[in-house]
Amino acid sequence: MKKKLLDFLREWDEGNFEFSMKMTENQLKTRPEDQDRLPPDRSWTRTEVARAAQSEERAFRRLVPVFMGVFLFAVAGFLLYVVTEMPAFGSSGTPANSGEVMRRYVESGLSETGAVNIVAGIILDYRAFDTLGESHVLFAATIAVMILMLLEREEEEPISELRILRNDLVLRNTAKISVPFLLVFGIYIILNGHLGPGGGFSGGAVIGGALILYSTAYAPESLRKVLNLRSYRLIVIAALGFYSFAKCYSFFCGANGLETVFTAGTPGRIFSAGLILPLNTAVGLVVSCTMYGFYSLFTRGRI
Amino acid sequence: MIEMLWNNRIQVAAVILFAVGLTTLLLHRNLLKKIIGLNIMDTAGYLFLTSLGYIEGRLAPIVTEGSTDPARYVNPLPAGLVLTGIVVSVSVTAVMLALTLRLYRRYHTLNLDEIYKAVHREQEEEP
């Protein structure tokens, strides 16, 4: 039993463990002339030099835990020494907590942005370009994953345990009950972003999780009627474009001292805080589509 | 010194997490474990940043009772910075996982040394 466990751990460490997705079954059928080269990494053990190199490498591998320990303690010790020089946790007198920046944000955040949630006011009003870049990072990551994972043809879906999951009664009923509530909760988090804890990123993640649960429990084809590659592109580009144009308008009006149609309004109302609510919605759309897109690309190779 | 470490226990936890993540990232040969190590490092950074913004006995930076007194709320800035970091780390993790999956499909191993050897052999065979 113990030996089995150790063998398993060693195999896991060497990266030979069975990858749970069976996507590789098609590629494993190699050409007949490659058969004598399998397993792939034994041909280099033939010569004397290579064997010596191999034993050297084995010795090095035995030393790796020692290196790891030394390295771990060196890094941790150095950083712990730095931590002892830092001001105590939770004290208000540190430069970061008593400086000009924090006082300015807290004092005039509510009157300038209209957002009750000061963090939302910071990330979607003062630092809105930062958040725009963030959404674009998500978009660029999805494009990179698409380049790497998207299947060229409409291939047969690879056989996987996901198909077995789809006939699971418990999962199906759980999804049936909880997906509507999850969707409503996600929309609530997005729309409540400027009034309390929440915002586009967290709400989008909740909606993305609900979509993933639905697509795992039911056939993804039903979801693909609504959310396919075409509508994904449309939603994400429309959201990012709206964000850019709205913020350009806001900056143009602000720099030239013009009146904007997006005013701070009455703090605490749902339609207040100027652009924060629409921007939160745009960010939430991008995040939820990206979450579902990552899942769909990794499991099926398509959106 | 021990007292200072206890006073800054959250930062100590963050620092230890950072060291564990960095060690995993640098000294493991399995690509998936490298990704896990990088994520642990990210998390340690977020924990460190948010702990710097916390002030004992103050409220979350959501205006209640109409009071905008800076002495009432914790520092809102680290929360905004950490939000940015989390999103970037999610994106980077997704791209890394996709690259790893492609490498696995081509070489049928996640071991970096084996992948290097296979690439080297391919280059020798090509000309």
Mapped to the 3 state alphabet, what secondary structure does chain A carry?
CHHHHHHHHHHHHCCCCCCCCHHHHHHHCCCHHHHHHCCCCCHHHCCHHHHHHHHHHHHHHHHHHHHHHHHHHHHHHHHHHHHHCCCCCECCCCHHHHCHHHHHHHHHHHHHHCCCEHHHHHHHHHCHHHHHHHHHHHHHHHHHHHHHHCCCCCCCCCCCHHHHHCCCHHHHHHHHHHHHHHHHHHHHHHHCCCCCCCCHHHHHHHHHHHHHHHHHHCCHHHHHCCCCHHHHHHHHHHHHHHHHHHHHHHHHHHHCCCCCCCCCCCCCCCCCCCCHHHHHHHHHHHHHHHHHHHHHHHHHCCC
- CA nearest B120: which of A76, A221, A53, A112? A53
Place of tokens 């921007």: A279
Q: Chain A: give the shortest CA distance to residue B64, in Å.
A: 8
How far, in Å, CA of A288 to CA of A283, rounded? Answer: 9
Place of tokens 């060497």: A14
Which of A102, A142, A196 shows the shortest C-beta gap to B77?
Answer: A102
Task: Report residue A30's pLDDT band, with 50, 70 and 90 as the boundaries.
Answer: very low
Contacts (Cβ under 8 Å, ≥6 apart) of A55: none
At A274 the pLDDT is 75
Tell whether A129 lies on the interface with B, counting CB pairs under 8 A.
no
pLDDT(A228) > 90: no
**Which residue of A lies nearest to B98 if distances are taken between CA atoms?**
A145
> Within 10 Å of residue B64's Cβ, how many Cβ atoms?
10
* CB A81, CB B60: distance < 8 Å: no
**Which residue of A lies nearest to B99 if distances are taken between CA atoms?**
A148
Contacts (Cβ under 8 Å, ≥6 apart) of A283: A124, A131, A135, A199, A200, A201, A204, A239, A243
pLDDT(A184) > 90: yes
At A77 the pLDDT is 86
The CATH fold of domain B2-125: Helix Hairpins (1.10.287)
Chain A residue numbers touching B31 (CB-CB < 8 A): 15
- CA nearest A41: which of B29, B19, B123, B121? B121
pLDDT(A199) > 50: yes
Chain A residue numbers touching B78 (CB-CB < 8 A): 96
- Averaged pLDDT, A213-228: 80
H helices within B54-111, ranges in order?
A: 77-107
Contact A105 B102 (CB under 8 A): no
Task: Report residue A19's pLDDT band, with 50, 70 and 90 as the boundaries.
Answer: very low
Tell whether A100 lies on the interface with B, counting CB pairs under 8 A.
no
**Which residue of A lies nearest to B33 if distances are taken between CA atoms?**
A13
Place of tokens 């759980």: A174
Tell whether B102 lies on the interface with A, counting CB pairs under 8 A.
yes
**Which residue of A lies nearest to B74 if distances are taken between CA atoms?**
A97
At A78 the pLDDT is 87
Tell whether B127 lies on the interface with A, counting CB pairs under 8 A.
no
Instruction: Tell me the percentage of chain A whose pLDDT exceeds 90.
Output: 7
Q: Which of A19-28, A233-242, B70-79 has the lowest mean pLDDT?
A: A19-28
pLDDT(A31) > 90: no
Higher pLDDT, B35 or B113: B35
How far, in Å, CA of A223 to CA of A226, rounded? Answer: 6
At A46 the pLDDT is 58
Contact A106 B70 (CB under 8 A): yes
- CA nearest B61: which of A273, A120, A290? A120
Mapping DSSP to helix (H, G, I), strand (E, B) and coil, where does residue B108 land?
coil
Q: Which of B31, B90, B122 to mutate to test the interface with A (most CBs of A within 10 A)?
A: B90
pLDDT(A17) > 60: no
* CB A166, CB A218: distance < 8 Å: yes
List, as ranges, residues 149-208 from A with C-beta within 8 Å of B.
Answer: 149, 196-197, 199, 201
- Averaged pLDDT, B35-62: 88
Place of tokens 């003062």: A126
Task: Report residue A29's pLDDT band, with 50, 70 and 90 as the boundaries.
Answer: very low
| Cα–chain center distance at A44 | 40
Domain boundaries, chain A: 41-88, 116-152+159-300
Average pLDDT, chain A: 77
Tell whether A84 lies on the interface with B, counting CB pairs under 8 A.
yes
Give the residues across from A12 on adjacent strands: none
Chain B residue numbers touching A142 (CB-CB < 8 A): 94
Contacts (Cβ under 8 Å, ≥6 apart) of B119: none
> Within 10 Å of residue A173's Cβ, how many Cβ atoms?
11
pLDDT(A164) > 80: no
Contact A141 B94 (CB under 8 A): yes
* Residue A182 CB-half CA count within 13 A: 19
At A21 the pLDDT is 40
How far, in Å, CA of B71 to CA of A230, rounded? Answer: 50
* CB A113, CB A274: distance < 8 Å: yes
At B106 the pLDDT is 84
* Residue A97 CB-half CA count within 13 A: 24
* Residue A14 CB-half CA count within 13 A: 10
Contact A145 B98 (CB under 8 A): yes
At B37 the pLDDT is 92
What is the phi/psi pair of residue A117, to 5°? -80, 110
- CA nearest A139: which of B115, B39, B91? B91
At B7 the pLDDT is 77
DSSP annotation of B111: B
| Cα–chain center distance at A78 | 31
pLDDT(A276) > 90: no
**Which residue of B lies nearest to A64 if distances are taken between CA atoms?**
B27
Tell whether B49 lies on the interface with A, counting CB pairs under 8 A.
no
Tell whether B59 lies on the interface with A, counting CB pairs under 8 A.
no
- Averaged pLDDT, A291-296: 88
Higher pLDDT, A218 or A51: A218
Contact B76 A297 (CB under 8 A): no
Tell whether A294 lies on the interface with B, counting CB pairs under 8 A.
yes
Contact A101 B77 (CB under 8 A): yes
- Averaged pLDDT, B78-86: 87
Contact A72 B7 (CB under 8 A): no
Task: Report residue A86's pLDDT band, with 50, 70 and 90 as the boundaries.
Answer: confident
- Averaged pLDDT, B93-109: 88
Contact A103 B70 (CB under 8 A): yes
Task: Report residue B92's pLDDT band, with 50, 70 and 90 as the boundaries.
Answer: very high
- Averaged pLDDT, A208-213: 91
pLDDT(A24) > 50: no
Contact B104 A24 (CB under 8 A): yes
